[in-house]
């Protein structure tokens, strides 16, 4: 086969090209021809096809994501915003923190182990590329029905993949979520988040500037795995029949990644790079075009110098390969030797593959012949933008009218007791330790809190005890009922979780998981959710630093619930003041903070007892969330509370059960006069938390709440070895523990 050079492309304008097979639309292909003034070469077509994919170009979501840049709260902490590999915030004492959540949904369904493993690898390299040492990971996961046979294939593979990769990197896994819902059956959501820490002066950006600087590719050799992962896999709807897509899934080598991390950090310490970018989705196409585009524009690459795992790969395949554990650095000529020396020390292969030029074109050569000659901005940053049509779904009103508050409630105390046990043993509310015990949460020796705590927390300075916390939350059921409110509830819950741990929420990253943007119903959900999230962030003062959009999470005509997952990052000046969830001290008083209304729409109770989804989700009051957070943080700092647990899915009884089991102590609860016992136990009103207060602090604590105007209700005491709801029922802790802990091992062990 003749090499499709730039010259050859100019001479053969009518040659047939596989643009359709590569996932491009007809008008997109026409636009590429218009940009270049000729037909693209095979290599150029490969680059455009992956970079203009939904996954890389955000072509359907961009018009909505703009709001995150427009509705920006005043926040002094932001150092680097949206657009880089990850956002960066100031956490004080000269430290900066970078964090991000990303999706690896589609690959994880096709090949659960490698899909999930490389999801961890990708997000860790994003964080590393900012100049930071990765310090912790989190994994928000969503699967189909817990008892569906395919969930038994997907879940154990995903969990083993996250563990198999993450545990080998030496990064503690400190949080995340596991949710089951039939809507995720053919489209599990495997999101992965990472936190990195650096000093302010160490921030690195992905750009190639300075003509004459060398382009160095280092890390693993390039192989034939993951070709077209972003365009073919992540940017199309799965059909129930169709060819196997496994070759499009990447294969990870965590050992290589660990070496890459240590090697890169040593390179940063010696200030050897002018720009750096990781290779993830779209591989070399992405790294070269983005680096060149963000710099002065010109770059020349000798593609035949790229070290290969498979010598038969074509230039197109090399450009599209998503082989893992690779990075691309821009290095001044006099620093190249030292750079290569450090790579040798860590047994990392490094190759100079090109240089920055003073031109404006990205030029790629194959054995001396030019195969790419493009303006890099048109590949990386000026892809197509769609204003997809959207409309409120016809079924939305009927769904909201199907009021969950009207569902049959327990008739007597015995039935109430039975429903409590059903709730805490249901897959979504049951203990997740069978999963999280497969992740290393101790490594690095800085883990202060990890799951099942409300937020994960790590110490970042051993002398001052400065720390950061992160929680991730998202409730697709709420978002299905009302996407605007659902997105704000995800934000509010994550924010509340961070505050409950004692840390001050600073900024967020989001992973927006939705169905096909070509469906106006889905686009409406997306538009509403992004609007809700942007408005919410503005009001809470927590900017969006970056994130990821995952569309086409649907099988045939059926989309997943709209699932915006929000990760809130918080800072705590002294981690010794953190607040755990465990009720550990007998005699301490239990207080409920916030207002409880009759709100059961989208609730865990309605799902577990009635298999129902309808009505309206709980109301959001972000001013109340702010006040609650301030109280929780002050109380933690001043030693007024010994435990706190946010109230969310499952309501008060779920939170109290978890806190009691964690601390190994029971509780006696009194239903407040104004509330019905059922609503008291199961309502999911937002803006609430339960806290354990030492008797000596009671007055000081309630005075503070009173003075600040936060409703506070004494609901009981930590005591005994059962949970007793006075006048209703009691359940021994041992019975609760069995119910809560046996479910997941029973399904998956």
What is the closest distance, in whole angstroms, from the C-beta atom of residue 153 to other proteins in the complex?
A: 16
Member of 30, 92, 246, 255 binding other proteins (CB under 8 A): 255
Member of 343, 448, 503, 656 binding other proteins (CB under 8 A): 448
Contacts of 59 (CB under 8 A, 6+ apart): 52, 383, 384, 385, 386
Member of 60, 167, 288, 293 binding other proteins (CB under 8 A): 167
Residue 114 binds other proteins (CB under 8 A)? no
Write out the two tokens for 713: 């209700």
Burial 466-487 (b: 16+ CB within 10 A, else e): bbbbbbbbbbbbbbbbbbbbbb
Member of 361, 370, 438, 464 binding other proteins (CB under 8 A): 438
What is the closest distance, in whole angstroms, from the C-beta atom of residue 729 to other proteins in the complex?
A: 31
Member of 21, 270, 347, 397 binding other proteins (CB under 8 A): 347
| Residue 142 or 459 with smaller CB distance to other proteins | 459
Measured CA angle at 129 (ends 124, 131), to 5 deg: 105
What is the closest distance, in whole angstroms, from the C-beta atom of residue 175 to other proteins in the complex?
A: 14
| Residue 81 or 170 with smaller CB distance to other proteins | 170
Total Cβ atoms within 10 A of residue 709: 9
Radius of gyration of the chain measured on its C-alpha atoms: 26
Interacting residues with other proteins between 351 and 380 (CB under 8 A): none
d(CA 626, CA 499): 9
What is the closest distance, in whole angstroms, from the C-beta atom of residue 255 to other proteins in the complex?
A: 3
Eight-class DSSP state of 447:
E
| Residue 146 or 319 with smaller CB distance to other proteins | 146
721 backbone dihedrals φ, ψ, rounded to 5°: -125, 35
What is the closest distance, in whole angstroms, from the C-beta atom of residue 653 to other proteins in the complex?
A: 27
Burial tier of 300 (Cβ tally within 10 Å: 0-12, 13-18, 19+): buried
Member of 9, 89, 169, 600 binding other proteins (CB under 8 A): 169
Judged by CB under 8 A, which stretch of 167-175, 232-240, 242-250, 679-687 contacts other proteins?
A: 167-175
Among candidate residues 8, 64, 104, 597, the one labeled active-site is 104
d(CA 584, CA 593): 19
d(CA 596, CA 674): 10
Member of 164, 175, 176, 410 binding other proteins (CB under 8 A): 164
| Residue 27 or 462 with smaller CB distance to other proteins | 462
What is the closest distance, in whole angstroms, from the C-beta atom of residue 667 to other proteins in the complex?
A: 22
Total Cβ atoms within 10 A of residue 164: 18
| Residue 252 or 376 with smaller CB distance to other proteins | 252
d(CA 224, CA 561): 34
Among candidate residues 55, 106, 612, 645, the one labeled active-site is 55
Residue 575 binds other proteins (CB under 8 A)? yes
The partner residues of 504 in beta bridges, in order of sequence, read 571
Residue 472 binds other proteins (CB under 8 A)? no
Judged by CB under 8 A, which stretch of 6-14, 252-260, 394-402, 701-709 contacts other proteins?
A: 252-260
C-alpha separations of 314 from 179, 272, 290, 376, 486 in Å: 42, 32, 22, 21, 46
| Residue 242 or 445 with smaller CB distance to other proteins | 445
Binding mask 178-217 for other proteins (x = CB under 8 A): ----------------------------------------
Q: Where are the beta strands (DSSP E) in 150-242?
A: 173-180, 189-199, 214-219
Binding mask 130-149 for other proteins (x = CB under 8 A): --------------------
How do beta strands 544-550 and 504-513 pair? parallel
Member of 4, 322, 363, 440 binding other proteins (CB under 8 A): 440
What is the closest distance, in whole angstroms, from the C-beta atom of residue 471 to other proteins in the complex?
A: 19
Residue 441 binds other proteins (CB under 8 A)? yes
Write out the two tokens for 589: 């008083």
* 8 belongs to the catalytic site: no
Size of the site for other proteins (CB under 8 A): 34
Residue 439 binds other proteins (CB under 8 A)? yes
Member of 87, 163, 186, 515 binding other proteins (CB under 8 A): 163
* 597 belongs to the catalytic site: no
Eight-class DSSP state of 230:
I
Residue 437 binds other proteins (CB under 8 A)? yes
Write out the two tokens for 105: 């949904």
Residue 333 binds other proteins (CB under 8 A)? no
Provide the Cα torsion 284, 289, 295, 298; round to 10°. Answer: 100
Eight-class DSSP state of 229:
I
Residue 734 binds other proteins (CB under 8 A)? no
HSE of 335, CA atoms in CB hemisphere, 13 A: 18
Write out the two tokens for 307: 């070290």
| Residue 444 or 539 with smaller CB distance to other proteins | 444
* Strands lying side by side in the sheet with 133-143: 78-80, 87-92, 95-103, 189-199, 133-143, 173-180
Coil, helix or strand at residue 719: coil
d(CA 299, CA 296): 9
Write out the two tokens for 281: 């989705």
Residue 452 binds other proteins (CB under 8 A)? no
378 backbone dihedrals φ, ψ, rounded to 5°: -70, -20
Member of 444, 464, 634, 730 binding other proteins (CB under 8 A): 444
Residues that bind other proteins (CB under 8 A): 160, 163-164, 167-170, 253-256, 258-259, 346-347, 436-448, 459, 462, 465, 575-576, 749
List residues with catalytic annotation: 55, 104
């Amino acid at each position: 086969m003749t090499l499709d050079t730039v010259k050859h492309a100019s001479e053969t304008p009518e040659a047939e090209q596989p643009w359709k097979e590569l996932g491009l639309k007809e008008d997109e292909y026409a636009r590429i021809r218009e940009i270049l003034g000729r037909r693209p070469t095979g290599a150029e077509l490969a680059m455009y096809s992956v970079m203009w994919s939904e996954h890389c170009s955000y072509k359907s979501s961009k018009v909505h994501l703009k709001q995150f840049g427009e509705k920006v709260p005043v926040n002094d902490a932001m150092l680097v915003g949206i657009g880089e590999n990850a956002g960066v915030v100031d956490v004080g004492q000269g430290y900066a923190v970078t964090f991000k959540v990303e999706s690896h949904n589609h690959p994880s369904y096709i090949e659960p182990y490698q899909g999930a493993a490389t999801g961890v690898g990708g997000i860790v390299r994003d964080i590393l590329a900012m100049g930071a040492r990765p310090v912790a990971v989190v994994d928000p996961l969503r699967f189909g029905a817990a008892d569906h046979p395919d969930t038994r294939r997907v879940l154990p593979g995903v969990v083993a993949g996250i563990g198999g990769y993450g545990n080998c990197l030496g990064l503690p896994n400190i949080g995340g979520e596991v949710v089951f819902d039939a809507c995720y059956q053919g489209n599990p959501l495997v999101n992965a988040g990472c936190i990195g820490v650096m000093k302010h002066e160490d921030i690195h950006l992905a750009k190639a500037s300075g003509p004459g600087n060398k382009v160095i590719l280092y890390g693993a050799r390039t192989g034939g795995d993951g070709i077209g992962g972003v365009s073919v896999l992540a940017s199309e709807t799965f059909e129930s029949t169709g060819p196997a897509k496994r070759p499009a899934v990447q294969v990870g080598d965590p050992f290589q990644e660990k070496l890459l991390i240590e090697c890169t950090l040593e390179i940063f310490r010696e200030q050897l790079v002018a720009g750096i970018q990781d290779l993830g989705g779209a591989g070399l196409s992405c790294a070269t075009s983005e680096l060149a585009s963000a710099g002065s524009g010109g770059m020349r690459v000798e593609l035949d110098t790229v070290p290969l795992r498979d010598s038969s790969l074509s230039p197109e395949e090399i450009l599209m390969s998503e082989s893992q554990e690779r990075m691309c650095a821009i290095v001044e000529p006099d620093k190249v030797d030292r750079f290569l020396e450090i790579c040798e020390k860590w047994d990392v292969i490094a190759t100079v593959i090109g240089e920055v030029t003073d031109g404006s074109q990205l030029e790629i050569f194959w054995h001396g012949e030019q195969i790419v000659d493009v303006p890099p901005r048109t590949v990386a940053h000026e892809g197509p933008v769609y204003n997809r049509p959207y409309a409120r779904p016809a079924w939305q009103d009927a769904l909201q009218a199907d009021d969950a508050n009207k569902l049959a409630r327990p008739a007597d105390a015995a039935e109430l007791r039975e429903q409590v046990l059903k709730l805490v043993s249901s897959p979504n509310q049951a203990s997740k330790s069978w999963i999280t015990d497969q992740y290393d949460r101790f490594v690095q020796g800085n883990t202060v809190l990890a799951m099942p705590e409300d937020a994960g927390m790590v110490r970042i300075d051993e002398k001052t005890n400065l720390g950061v916390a992160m929680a991730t939350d998202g409730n697709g059921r709420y978002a299905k009922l009302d996407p605007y409110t659902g997105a704000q509830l995800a934000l509010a819950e994550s924010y509340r979780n961070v505050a409950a741990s004692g840390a001050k929420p600073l900024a967020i990253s989001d992973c927006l998981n939705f169905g096909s943007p070509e469906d106006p119903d889905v686009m409406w959900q997306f538009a509403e959710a992004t609007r809700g999230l942007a408005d919410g962030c503005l009001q809470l003062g927590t900017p969006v630093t970056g994130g990821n959009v995952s569309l086409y999470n649907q099988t045939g005509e059926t989309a997943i619930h709209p699932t915006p997952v929000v990760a809130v990052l918080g800072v705590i000046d002294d981690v010794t003041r953190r607040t755990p969830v465990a009720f550990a001290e007998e005699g301490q008083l239990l207080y409920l903070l916030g207002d409880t209304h009759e709100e059961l729409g989208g609730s865990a109770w309605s799902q577990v007892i009635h298999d129902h989804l309808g009505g309206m989700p709980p109301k959001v009051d972000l001013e109340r969330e702010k006040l609650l957070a301030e109280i929780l943080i002050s109380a933690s700092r001043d030693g007024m509370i010994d435990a706190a647990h946010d109230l969310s899915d499952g309501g008060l009884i779920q939170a109290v059960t978890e806190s009691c089991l964690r601390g190994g102590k029971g509780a006696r609860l009194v239903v407040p006069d104004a509330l019905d016992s059922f609503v008291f136990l199961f309502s999911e009103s937002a803006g609430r938390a339960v806290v354990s207060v030492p008797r000596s602090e009671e007055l000081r604590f309630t005075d503070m709440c009173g003075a600040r105007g936060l409703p506070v209700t004494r609901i009981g005491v930590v005591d005994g070895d059962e949970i007793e709801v006075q006048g209703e029922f009691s359940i021994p802790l041992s019975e609760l523990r069995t119910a809560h802990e046996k479910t997941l091992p029973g399904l998956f062990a």
